[in-house]
Amino acid sequence: MTKQLAGHLLVDCLLAQGVTHAFGVPGESYLAVLDGLYARRDRIDFITCRQEGGAAFMAEAHGKLTGRPGVCMVTRGPGATNASIGVHTAFQDSTPMLLLVGDVASDCRDREAFQEVDYSSFFGPSTKGFAKRVERIDDADRIPEYVARAFATAMNGRPGPVVLVLPEDMLTQLTEATPLPRVDAVQAWSDPGSLRTLREMLLKAERPFIIAGGGGWTPESAQALQRFAENWRLPVGNAFRFQDTFDNFHPLYAGDVGIGLNPKLAARIKASDLIIAIGPRLGEMTTGNYTLLEAPRPRQKLVHIHASAEELNRVYLADLAIHATMNAAARSLEVLTAPPDVPWQAWTASANEDYLANLEPQQLPGDIDMPAIVGLLQKHLPADAVLTNGAGNFASWLHRFYRHHGLVKGHKTQLAPTVGAMGYGVPAGIAAAITTGRLAFTIAGDGDFLMNGQELATAVQHGAKSIIVLLNNGMYGTIRMHQEREYPQHSSGSHLNNPDFAALARAYGYAGVRITHTAQFEAELLAALERKEGTLIEVTLDPEVISTRTTLSAITQNALQRLL
């Protein structure tokens, strides 16, 4: 058999797993892998990024979009630690991902060699880190075994990130090993007895409510979920930043269960007598800091369906815990026989009415009407557009006012970090444009954009187009809001002196424009849609417009009155 470099074999193993793109920053520790990518450049694209955090976010976004691990390649030490933000995002967002780290040579280990890191301690599950598995490949002949196991681990159960460490000298070994076949996720099916119990619980309920979200959803499972909800006339809310799980235009939709929650929806969840949580971890953001559902034992009856047995009964003691992947769970639920009539039809109808009423905006000051701008996005963006954002109050405009058809129509349309990582939106949008060919739209804040705005250079280099609306209010708005709430009139560290964002975008090769009035936006959006290159539209936002519901001054005054 013909021998080849281990670095080339690694690339062949990625190809065998269906990998079409790898995102990364090149490093001398994995030159043999880069040479393998060059040799197979007609089959796999290496996307050269500008910072490892941006590269890891792109890989995580790719994993969300495809359901298979997004691949990120970085060098040892600083490269891996920079990439850790994307690994943490993949962990909390339940996204399959593979981080490949070029490492010090084997004969230099454990001497604090140049850029040496103990990756098992840094990332590993044994140290309460944020990777499902961390392994080092010391034998080139075993590369196929490690890569196949990494893909299986990343996809099975609760999806998540895996880290493989690649010693520099191992990658230059010659090997006759060949790739293993493609690995697919294993489906865990609902226990028939549990399904019968769930049906009995539904028949006894008066105010049931579904919360859907988490990782592992496909168009087929989303469609099966919709049929289950229709059969039983159940109201459905989407978990925090999984707003494309259930069609927002459906008459059973009740809204997103996350930050900036509709107060009427919060009250409805508390008043429910049966919560059916399908897929989400039921983390802090979805549960309103563990108040909508009280931990560890909710006042409501709780059915929790999750792909990971380890997640069930970990935070919440469920009345019924079902271990099942989303495809299997939804397909089991859709054939659950419903009665000809249910007593909660008015409850379901009013849930949707509350959601529609929440689309009516509050009156806020300034020359920019953000609900109107989101309305223009709804009007002009294609239905399969991928909408991305990082972390900050700016994202709440999309979360509250934009309506996703989502997975039920065949496409994932929201990429948003449930981990709350700033700087995610720009690289995620670029990754979506590169890997799907669909229109990618990003909303960003001024502080958020400056975390990873350099990746516009990556977009231009690889021919990707995204449209970015950047809301510039001259501050870290979320932090300032909390400061005024807790320490009124004691602003510290949240003010920003910003560059000319439109000029900065043009320097990277994007079109860059600035608007100061709502009436200017539609023409600029239409022009951006027509351009071949990407566009950044800077929107000058009044600092008073701190959220979708209130002003900064109102928060300050309420805090001062509370302190009197």
Give the model confidence (pLDDT) of 28-37 as tens digits: 999 999 999 9
- Where residue 112 falls among pLDDT bands split at 50, 70, 90? confident
% pLDDT > 90, the chain: 94
- Where residue 128 falls among pLDDT bands split at 50, 70, 90? confident
Nearest to 235 by CA among 137, 344, 104: 344
The mean-pLDDT minimum among 15-19, 76-80, 404-408 falls in 404-408
Which tokens in the block code for residue 551?
A: 């002003």
The mean-pLDDT minimum among 46-55, 123-132, 362-371 falls in 123-132
Contact 9, 16 (CB under 8 A): no
The residues, any chain, with a CB within 8 Å of residue 508's CB and separated by 6 or more, are 454, 456, 457, 459, 460
Task: Identify the structural domains of the chain with CATH numbers, from first to last.
Answer: 4-175 (3.40.50.970), 192-358 (3.40.50.1220), 370-563 (3.40.50.970)
% pLDDT > 70, the chain: 99
CA-CA distance, 61 to 4, in Å (whole number)?
32
- DSSP-derived letter for residue 182 is P
Nearest to 36 by CA among 22, 17, 50: 22
Judge whether residue 127 has pLDDT over 70.
no
Contact 144, 178 (CB under 8 A): yes
Give the model confidence (pLDDT) of 270-297 as tens digits: 999 999 999 999 999 999 999 999 999 9
Its sign, for the CA torsion 484, 354, 368, 456, is positive
Residue 114 is predicted with a pLDDT of: 80
The arithmetic mean of pLDDT across residues 494-513, rounded, is 97
Residue 126 is predicted with a pLDDT of: 65
Using CA atoms of 223, 249, 320, 185 in order, give the dihedral in degrees to the nearest 10: 40
Residue 540 is predicted with a pLDDT of: 97
Residue 324 is predicted with a pLDDT of: 97
The mean-pLDDT minimum among 110-124, 161-175, 211-225, 410-424 falls in 110-124
Residue 108 is predicted with a pLDDT of: 86
Give the model confidence (pLDDT) of 410-422 as tens digits: 999 999 999 999 9
Judge whether residue 1 has pLDDT over 90.
no
Mean pLDDT, the chain, rounded, equals: 96
CA-CA distance, 437 to 34, in Å (whole number)?
25
